[in-house]
Amino acid sequence: MRLSPLLVIVAATLGGAWAGACDEQQHGRLPPLLVTTAETPTVYAWPEQKAELHCRPSQAGGCRWLKGSRELGTECRLSTTERGTIRCVRGEETCGTVTLKNPNNQAVEHTHKSYHQRNSYHYRRSHQYWDYKGETRWSRKSSTFLCSRSGTIIPKSKVCDGIRKCSKGEDEWHCSPSCGPPFLREHNELSYTMEEYPDGWSSTYVCESGFSLAESLSGLRRTCRAGRWEGDAPVCRRNVALGQPITVTGLPMADCKVAVDGSLDTWCMLAPSNGPKVLAVRLEANATVDRVLVRALGTRYTVALRPVNQTNNEVGCPCQELSSDKITPSVSGVRVCVCPEQASTVGQLEVRVSAETGAFLTLSVAEVVALERSDDDNGDACALLGQPAHRRYEPAQTGTVKLSCDPGYTPSCSDPVRCSDLQSGTTRLSCVAAKCSSPPAIPNTKTGPKNGTGWRSVVEYSCAAGYALYPSEQNTTSTCDSDSLWSLGHISCVSETDIRVIAMRLGEQHERSMATLRAELETPLMNLLADQNSTQQRLSKLELSMAARRAELETLLTGQRQLLADQNSTQQRLNKLEREVARLGLAAGAYLPAQERDPTEDATEPAPEEEGVTQTSETATDRTVTQVPEAASDRTVTQTSETATDRTVTQIPEAATDRTVATRPEQQPAGAADSEELEERTAETTPPSDVELIPWIY
C-alpha cells in the first residue's frame, strides 16, 4: 500500500521528537508541512501552535492561502495558528489542501481517571495533566508530546525510548544525533579527538603535566547522548605534591620518592610491622590544599594534613573510594580525601598517609596528589557549552543562544534557548542531515530514476500515458532542500484530448514548421553572407597592399625631394666657391704681363659696363686722374667734376690697397698748359704695358 504523500511531514530535527523543549509558550514546534495535490490529509497540532505550510508551484509567482473564502496569506510559505481546511491556490488552480485540527480529547494515552464538569474535560495520567476548556483555553504540561498524524498525546519521557508510540513514528525520529567536540577547560585535554562523535561515544578527559583531575587520578569520561555531552567538563588543578620531599617512618622496601613522581604504576612499600608506618609529603611553602587523592592498597590507612613540626594541629581528611564508571581506565585503590578548609591556611603543610597501628600491616602507596585550592568559577553557562556537530551556537539574549546549522543540516529549534537548560540536558538541540521522505505523488504523473532522498537528491517527473504537461514550460525536476522538503509539489498534467493541449500542440507544430522554413532560408542567406565576408576580406587585403605600395612611393618621392634639395645646396655651394676663386684671382694681382695682353686692345678703352666700368663721353678727350688712398682697399671710389656732364668711373678691386684708379674729366684741370706735365702725370697713372687689368666680377 503506497503512503499518501500529499502532505509530507518532515521532522526537521528533534523539533518533532522534543516538542515543547524549545519554547513552552508555543507548545513546541510542528515539523514543516509540504502541501501537494494528491489528497487532503489531516494533521494534529496543539491549540495556538503555529503550523508552517509550504506550497511550491511549478512556476514562479505568488500563492494564495484560503480558508473558505478568507485569504490567509499571499506568500508560498504560511505560518498560521488557524484550524480547519486550508487551500493553496495559484491563479484559479488549487495546488494543494491540508486540514489542521486540535488533538482529540479522547486520544490521551494511559488515562487513569476522567470526569466531566461544566463542559470541561480533565484527564489525569501519571502526574501529567492536560486540560481542555471550551475552544480556546488550553493548558498542558510541557512534558507531553503530540503525534501529528494520529493526535495521540504521550508523555515526553517515552519519546526516543526505542518504541514507536506514534502511528508514523514521529516520537522516534532523529533520536540519536551526533555530538561535536566537547568543551575543554583550562589545562584539559582529550585522549582522542574527532570532528564528530556518534551517539553513545565516550571521550576521556586528562590533564596536562603537573595538573590532576579533582575526581580521578587517571581520566574522566563524558558520553554523547542525543546530541549533547552528559555532565560538565572536569576541572584540572595544580598538584602541589608533585616532586616534593618525602619523609618515611618505618622500614621502606623501595625508594619512596616514586609516591610523588606522577605515575600510578610505581610503588613505595613499607615493611609490615606493629609499629608506626607513615609516609609524609612536605608541600611547598604557602600551598593551600582542597583535597588529596591517594592510591594505596587496602583501606586501613588514614590521610591527614598538619603544619610541619606541629603534631597537635593535625586535621584528618575524610576519604571515599572512587567506584564511578566514568573513571577510565579503572584503577583500584584510589580514594579522594576532602580536607577541611581551615586546615589549608595554617603555615607550611605536609600530607601524612598513616597505616593503622597495633596490627601487623604493611603500607603500599603508589601516588599522593595534593590539589591546590581554587574557586572553581564555572563562569557563563554559554561559554561552557560543547561545540555542536555541523552547527554553531550564536549568542541571542543574555544567557541564551540560537542554533545555526551548516548547509544540508536543519536545526531542531531556531528559537533562543537558555544555556543552563542546554548544559543540564533539560533542552536538547541538534543539527541533523536533511533527508526528505519519498517524493510526493502528484496526480497524472510518474517519476523517473531517483538517486536517494538525502540533501540535494533529485527526482524527475513526467506525465503519465494519455496526459500532457500544460503549460509545457513547467519545471519537472524536484530537489531535496535543506529544510527536508522537496522543491516541487505541483505539476499540471491534463488529458491529451483537452482543447488546451490540442491548441498547444498546434502551436508547437506551427513553431516547428516556421523553424524548418527559417532553417531553409537561412542556408542560402548564410552562404551569401559567407561570400560577402570573403569578398570583404579580399578587398581588405587589396587595400592593405595598395597602402603598402603608396607608402613605398611616398618613401621614393621623399628620397627624390631630398636628392634635389642636396643638389641645389651643392650648386649654391659651387657658385659661392666660384665667386671666391674669382676674388682670390683679383687679390693675387690686378695687372697681367704685357705679353699676355691683346695687342689690339685699346689702352684707353674703358671696361665693359658689366665689368664695373662706365665709359666716358665721346667728346671727352682729356682725363682727370685721381689717386686712391691706401686705406680704401675694399671700396670703389669715383671722382667726378662738378661741371662735367658725363662721368667716367674706374672700379678698383678690393685687394688693390696701393694702386690708383684715375678718372678722366671732360675738361682739363686749370693750370695744365704744359703738355709735358700732362704726359708725365699720365705716365705715372698708366699701368705697365706687360700688365693686363682684370675686371671685378660681382
| Most confidently predicted of 43-47, 245-249, 601-605, 688-692 | 245-249
Any idea what DSSP says for residue 339? P
Task: Give the residue from 563, 596, 629 where a domain finishes.
Answer: 596
Contact 55, 61 (CB under 8 A): no
- Specify the pLDDT at position 341: 67
Task: Give the residue from 128, 157, 172 where a domain finishes.
Answer: 172
Region 649-653 average pLDDT = 41
Any idea what DSSP says for residue 218? S
CATH number at residue 130: 2.60.40.10
> Hey, how many other C-beta atoms are within 10 angstroms of the C-beta on 282?
16
Are 28 and 107 part of one and the same domain? yes
- Specify the pLDDT at position 610: 42
Contact 634, 586 (CB under 8 A): no
Lowest mean pLDDT segment, chosen from 16-20, 361-365, 412-416, 597-601:
16-20
pLDDT at 248 over 60: yes
- Specify the pLDDT at position 345: 52
Contact 234, 220 (CB under 8 A): yes
Q: Which domain holds residue 592?
A: 502-596
CATH number at residue 259: 2.60.120.260
**For residue 576, what pLDDT band results from cuts at 50, 70 and 90?**
very high
pLDDT at 280 over 90: yes
Is 301 inside a domain boundary?
yes
For residue 463, give the nearest of 485, 478, 480, 448 by alpha carbon: 448
pLDDT at 286 over 80: yes
pLDDT at 2 over 70: no
- Specify the pLDDT at position 159: 80
> Hey, how many other C-beta atoms are within 10 angstroms of the C-beta on 468?
20
pLDDT at 194 over 60: yes
Region 190-199 average pLDDT = 88
* Burial (Cβ within 10 Å: 0-12, 13-18, ≥19) of residue 202: middle
Are 19 and 163 part of one and the same domain? yes
Q: Is 205 helix (H, G, I), strand (E, B) or coil?
A: strand
- Specify the pLDDT at position 108: 60
The pTM assigned to this predicted structure is 0.57
- Specify the pLDDT at position 636: 36
**For residue 607, what pLDDT band results from cuts at 50, 70 and 90?**
very low
Region 519-540 average pLDDT = 90
Higher pLDDT, 279 or 104: 279
| Most confidently predicted of 234-248, 355-369, 600-614 | 234-248
- Specify the pLDDT at position 565: 93
pLDDT at 118 over 60: no
Region 129-158 average pLDDT = 66
**For residue 351, what pLDDT band results from cuts at 50, 70 and 90?**
very high
Is 168 inside a domain boundary?
yes
- Specify the pLDDT at position 281: 94
Region 408-424 average pLDDT = 82
Region 444-460 average pLDDT = 85
- Specify the pLDDT at position 452: 80
pLDDT at 615 over 50: no
- Specify the pLDDT at position 391: 80
Are 162 and 245 part of one and the same domain? no
In 95-235, which residue ranges form alpha helices assigned H by DSSP? none
629 is written with which cell numbers? 688712398
- Specify the pLDDT at position 29: 62
Q: How many domains does the chain have?
A: 3
Residue bearing cell 667734376: 641
Q: Is 525 helix (H, G, I), strand (E, B) or coil?
A: helix
> Hey, how many other C-beta atoms are within 10 angstroms of the C-beta on 219?
21
Are 243 and 166 part of one and the same domain? no
pLDDT at 674 over 70: no
Is 693 inside a domain boundary?
no
Is 508 inside a domain boundary?
yes
Is 606 inside a domain boundary?
no
Q: Is 507 helix (H, G, I), strand (E, B) or coil?
A: helix
- Specify the pLDDT at position 342: 59
**For residue 18, what pLDDT band results from cuts at 50, 70 and 90?**
very low
Is 68 inside a domain boundary?
yes
- Specify the pLDDT at position 258: 93
468 is written with which cell numbers? 500532457
Contact 611, 590 (CB under 8 A): no
Are 131 and 243 part of one and the same domain? no
Are 22 and 153 part of one and the same domain? yes
Angstrom distance (rounded) from CA 263 to CA 191: 17
Rounded alpha-carbon distances, angstroms, from residue 86 to 65, 526, 672: 7, 58, 159
Chain-centre distance of CA 142, in angstroms? 43
| 527, containing H or E segment | helix 499-588
> Hey, how many other C-beta atoms are within 10 angstroms of the C-beta on 449?
7
Average pLDDT, the chain: 75
Region 191-217 average pLDDT = 89
Region 273-300 average pLDDT = 88
Are 153 and 255 part of one and the same domain? no
**For residue 682, what pLDDT band results from cuts at 50, 70 and 90?**
very low
**For residue 107, what pLDDT band results from cuts at 50, 70 and 90?**
low
Per-position DSSP letters for 531-591, written without gaps between them: HHHHHHHHHHHHHHHHHHHHHHHHHHHHHHHHHHHHHHHHHHHHHHHHHHHHHHHHHH-S-
pLDDT at 153 over 70: yes
Task: Give the residue from 132, 154, 172 where a domain finishes.
Answer: 172
State what percent of residues in the chain have pLDDT above 70: 72
Are 20 and 106 part of one and the same domain? yes
Is 666 inside a domain boundary?
no
- Specify the pLDDT at position 257: 93
Region 282-297 average pLDDT = 88
For residue 20, give the nearest of 427, 320, 308 by alpha carbon: 427
Residue bearing cell 693686363: 692
**For residue 22, what pLDDT band results from cuts at 50, 70 and 90?**
low
- Specify the pLDDT at position 496: 87
| Most confidently predicted of 403-417, 440-454, 472-486, 560-574 | 560-574
Angstrom distance (rounded) from CA 518 to CA 260: 97
**For residue 388, what pLDDT band results from cuts at 50, 70 and 90?**
confident
Are 67 and 155 part of one and the same domain? yes
**For residue 542, what pLDDT band results from cuts at 50, 70 and 90?**
very high
Is 418 inside a domain boundary?
no
pLDDT at 533 over 70: yes
Are 123 and 259 part of one and the same domain? no
Lowest mean pLDDT segment, chosen from 184-188, 311-315, 609-613, 682-686:
609-613
Lowest mean pLDDT segment, chosen from 4-18, 70-84, 214-228, 306-320:
4-18
528 is written with which cell numbers? 551569401
Higher pLDDT, 692 or 222: 222
